[in-house]
A and B are shown apart, each in its own frame.
Chain A
Amino acid sequence: MNNIKTILGAILISAFAFNCSSDDDSNNNEGSMSIEPDFSGTYTQQDQMGRPAVNTVFVSAASKNTFNVTTPDAQGAAFQPMFQANLEGLSPAFANPGDMNALMQTSADFTGLLATDVLNLSLDGETTFFNPATGALLTGRNLTDDVITIELLLIFGGEDFTENSQLSNDNVDANDKPFSASFPYLASAW
């Protein structure tokens, strides 16, 4: 019972204090209870992302947190060897020396690209992760891009996208709701 009284008291005091500070706020020209938001302080990185699924697929479990707080300009040197080892361990299409993907990238080339986890964005035209019809590659990421199948093909598909067909397409090709052509583009929540 004493506890409840103390808690109620604390709530009343904080409510009263809130009123006072609001009344004293000379910038409050709307006559409402609003208080100028506080944007002070230092914000420290916890997570980052450029291309889809990179951390998930290529970073070993013990290094996932470190990868998320390594700035992109330092990621290549720090993580490319791990990416290459994990790629060669994961994919039969990169099991032998000289193996390449359909971009004619060796495991070193491919992981050298991926280890710096930024999303390239063209300001000059088509933006897509990969569009086989136009040949546009890594010029952005559209909502409709089947990025997982593109990545699976580059990981498992070999030099001509025909190897390991059971592994190179998840056979989910589109979103569960259509996107809008207009802002904010994403579909409404379920």
Chain B
Amino acid sequence: MKKTKIILGIGALAIASFFMVAADHIDAPAVASGTADITDFYAFQAEDPNNVVFVANVQGLLSPSATASAAFDENVLIEFNIDTTGDNVEDLVLQAIPRDGRMYFFGPTIPGSVGVDSAIETNATQTSVAISAYGEAATATTNAGMKFFAGPRDDPFFMDFAQYGEIIAGNATGFNSPGVDTFKGTNVMSIVVEVPKTMVGGSGTINTWVEAKTKQ
């Protein structure tokens, strides 16, 4: 009986995984549903037009009941990468890593090395903010003109991913109208940083991306 339940559970998980691949949610087998799985990345001008905002979300499709116990992984470094010269190599990084209920931020700073391996840039501007608890008001910290937040949020992504899956599988010829938001009512673990434009290039167009890196 126990075995049957486990097999059923695995089956359900596999089906969910098949359908729940979206913006970057569960995008690849090595990271799918793990604590290093980036679900989304946003970059936009802030309420204060002198600033820009970077958002990295991880651990997608958290149900409300699962969110209270969800936590950032202390072995996972989230790194915002900023290319100011147009060669798609990071000139600046802004790092975030949790320790004992707080999210520590380093940067923006010129990284000691570029590419897939990183050290934490402990000599850069350091800020920490208490990770906001589920069900409580967002806790934010400001430092050096920047604002910082870490904690559970509603998943801002929206898409009828289930129907997209049906189309790709050959079971449907198009989307429904209206569609159904597959991510309705689900949460993510979110990191939000607002920085002055002067700290990330000042003017012009920059290239940005986010990375999840695990401790070796």
Contacts and interface: CB of A to CB of B under 8 A. Distances in A.
Q: Do the two chains belong together in a single complex?
A: yes
A29 interface: no
B160 A69 contact: no
A108 interface: no
Contacts, number: 278
B186 interface: yes
Contact of A56 (B23, B87, B184, B201): B23
Contacts of A10: none
B23 A185 contact: no
A140 B55 CA distance: 12
Contact of A184 (B27, B140, B197, B211): B140
Nearest to B180: A172
Interface residues of B, number: 97
Contacts of A122: 45, 204-205
Interface residues of A, number: 73
B164 interface: yes
Nearest to B203: A123
A65 B29 CA distance: 7
Interface of A: 34, 37-50, 52-53, 55-56, 59, 64-65, 67-69, 71-73, 75, 116-128, 139-143, 146-148, 165-167, 169-177, 179, 181-190
23 contacts: A41-B119, A43-B77, A43-B79, A43-B120, A47-B37, A48-B209, A49-B41, A56-B23, A56-B24, A64-B28, A65-B31, A120-B207, A121-B205, A123-B200, A123-B201, A170-B164, A179-B156, A183-B53, A183-B149, A185-B192, A189-B64, A189-B187, A190-B187
